[in-house]
Amino acid sequence: MAKVLYGFNYFLIYTIQIAEKFFSTTD
pLDDT tens per residue across span 6-17? 999 999 999 999
The domain spans of the chain are 1-27
Q: What is the CA radius of gyration of the chain?
A: 12
Give φ, ψ of 23 to 5 degrees.
Answer: -70, -25
Per-residue pLDDT at 20: 93
For the stretch 4-9, contacts whose Cβ atoms lie closer than 8 Å and that sit 24 or more positions apart, written own/partner, are: none
Taking the C-alpha atoms of residue 11 and residue 23, their distance in angstroms, rounded to an integer, is 18
C-alpha separations of 10 from 2, 18, 19, 25, 26 in Å: 12, 13, 14, 23, 25
Q: Band of the pLDDT at 27, cuts 50, 70, 90?
A: low
